[in-house]
Structure 1
Amino acid sequence: MATTGSVRLHTGQRMPTVGLGTWMLTDGEALKAAIDVGYRHIDTAQYYQNEDRIGEVLEQQIKDGKIMREEMFITTKLTPMGMAPEHVRKETEKSLKRLKTSYIDLYLIHFPVAHSDELLEKGVATPLYKDGTPKTVFIDPLDTWREMEKLVDDGLVKAIGLSNFSLKQVERIYSLARIKPANLQMEIHAWFPQYDFVDFCTKRGISITAYAPIGSPGKPEMPGLGPSGKALLEEPALKEVASKHGKTPAHVLLRNLIQRGIIVIPKSSNPERIRLNFEVFDFELTDEDMDVIKGLNKEKRLFTFGAVGERNFHHPFFPFPEIKDSCDFQDVNKDL
């Protein structure tokens, strides 16, 4: 198994630096391949609808003696439909059952905007307004957080954190929390490095996990998902740095974030790419290399959350003001 790195959370846990992202991943063979290579960090979410498959694979791998539960670091996320305080524990217990584990290593609020719970008992289907956008409700994430703190108290989860929250939202939770966030997961890559936000969290002992660390090149280019990041891997300056080290552009992008102290969760279902994404511990970027990558910054977000619908850009807990401010949709009460 390759030598790997880890980041120490304020809870004392060691969180592996490289994890397997599983958004849109249902292939159990891909997870087996990752474990064989040496991955010990798996990132999933209730919303991905693959916790049960992941649980089956992990259970079998443990039975076969390939891994021990204590070696694995499992991150999952509370569905936006389950953010009402009365649902949090029940939804957590569902995840525990699907993942076939007695505890979750890190549990995140997936998104600060809560969805209606009217279809919650049917799974993770999102109720929709007449215009096809998600039906949202007004639940303060702080109230959700209070219930998540109780999960830590009772040993159901080891650590709790946030995903897709704005800096102001993180600051509010941090300042009012009894148990401080251990991790923030957000979009970070060379086109969207979020230096100030990362610095803000680091100074408060909040670790950072980057999703789309290589630009999510496999993400479909659709209005609801945002632009493709394929061109990021084609940046000439990035290719030059990769060539100098005998590595791929993806290796350089991952290594850049790791050297910034950031955890990365590249997603792939291809066993060869899964292996390659893990080969980032045998080289180091120079300060000059890091400056080159810093120069690629375009402040370009690849996940624009258009699927939430323009009406929800005006929700009081929608986290991204640059998206909200660019929206001229005003009739937010239509069809409510």
Structure 2
Amino acid sequence: MTMDPKYQKKVKLNDGHFIPVLGFGTFAPPEVPKSEALEVTKFAIEVGFRHIDCAYLYQNEEQVGQAIRSKIADGTVKREDIFYTSKPGEAILPTDENGKLIFDSVDLCHTWEALEKCKDAGLTKSIGVSNFNHKQLERILNKPGLKYKPVCNQVECHPYLNQSKLLEFCKSHDIVLVAYGALGAQRTLQWMNPNFPFLLEDPVLSAIAKKHKQTPALVALRYQIQRGVVVLAKSYNKKRIKENIQVFDFELTPEDMKAIEGLNSNIRYYDFQQAVDHPEYPYSEEY
């Protein structure tokens, strides 16, 4: 299967490997049958996604792995075509059947040393972090005897929380920012503040989308790619999965980018409030 080169856009990580700028997010609420993860991941690979984002927390790694293996077996992709992200359960762990989270008290630097050993043992090509603020990143970067820098920091990032200061910090240390929650959050999420605006109904995004004959979701994804952020698009709807790969078919103008930058209002949909008293709670810092 030959893919249009524009769908293969990647950025180089600080360890020499490359990450596709558009990723497929596989998280789904507990009520979604795990079998759907198998189906939609196969479909995402078929339409062109080559970066698949998963986690121990999502409880569907078995199905996602099965989907990747089946697409390798049928010749759609080779193993080296796929950039697969997993997040082990050391830093953030589920506490109940509703998927509520707590931050484990494992020391950040010891956890990082364990990841370095995984890389040395060939268990993973690249190692990065998620939900780190700049001070936590600094603790890793300043660790005596640091062997490998984090290649990326995966955080909530969208036009209402554009993370510009954290992005600047990460870029200055050659760390790629990866955006999750790039389309805001669904109203159905139990932890979402009902008073928060729904990102994809934002009038500015809608006007820009109309101008480009695209959807507000595609505009929100394109915004990230143009500012040097790797973006995850999460959907279990096949029509939208197919649509999201079209993010490479258009370009936002500098005026569009400026207008979207102006939407920043520090709205954090995923704030893990139940962990707010934990000493490693990352969101007490400005960035």
Matched, 1:56 2:56: no
Query: In structure 2, what is the Cα distance between the partners aligned to 1:138 and 1:63?
Result: 41
Letter matched to residue 204 of structure 1 = H
Query: In structure 1, what is the Cα distance between the partners aligned to 2:57 and 2:77?
Result: 26
Task: Give the TM-score of the pair, scaled to structure 1.
Answer: 0.76
Match of residue 74 from structure 1: 84
Contact 2:133 2:285 in 1 (8 A): no
Match of residue 319 from structure 1: 282
Task: Give the TM-score of the pair, scaled to structure 2.
Answer: 0.88
Select 2:245's aligned residue among 254, 262, 278.
278
Residue pairs, 1:1-336, within 5 angstroms: 1-2=3-4, 3-4=6-7, 5-24=9-28, 26=34, 27=36, 28-79=38-89, 83=90, 111=92, 126=95, 138-176=105-143, 177-217=146-186, 220-222=188-190, 224-227=191-194, 231-306=198-273, 309=274, 312-321=275-284
Query: In structure 2, what is the Cα distance between the partners aligned to 1:319 and 1:257?
Result: 22
Alignment gaps of 5+ in structure 1: 84-109, 116-124, 324-336
> Deviation at 1:295?
1.1
Match of residue 96 from structure 1: none
Query: In structure 1, what is the Cα distance between the partners aligned to 2:182 and 2:103?
Result: 29
> Deviation at 1:7?
1.1
What is the total number of aligned residue pairs between the two structures?
A: 273
Query: In structure 1, what is the Cα distance between the partners aligned to 2:243 and 2:195?
Result: 21
Contact 1:227 1:303 in 2 (8 A): no
What secondary structure sits across from 1:252 in the alignment? helix
Contact 1:127 1:135 in 2 (8 A): no
What secondary structure sits across from 2:135 in the alignment? helix
Alignment gaps of 5+ in structure 2: none
Larger gyration radius, structure 1 or structure 2? 1
* Alpha-carbon spacing, 1:206–1:189, altered in 2? closer, same or farther (3 Å): same
> Deviation at 1:138?
3.0
Query: In structure 2, what is the Cα distance between the partners aligned to 1:253 and 1:134?
Result: 27
1:140-185 superposed Cα distances (whole Å, 9 cap, x missing partner): 1110110110111111111111101111101111221321000100
Cα RMSD of the aligned pairs, angstroms, is: 2.2
Return structure 1 stretches of 4+ with deviation > 4 angstroms.
132-137, 225-230
What secondary structure sits across from 1:297 in the alignment? coil
Query: In structure 2, what is the Cα distance between the partners aligned to 1:299 and 1:13?
Result: 32
Match of residue 104 from structure 1: none
* Alpha-carbon spacing, 1:249–1:272, altered in 2? closer, same or farther (3 Å): same
Contact 2:19 2:51 in 1 (8 A): yes
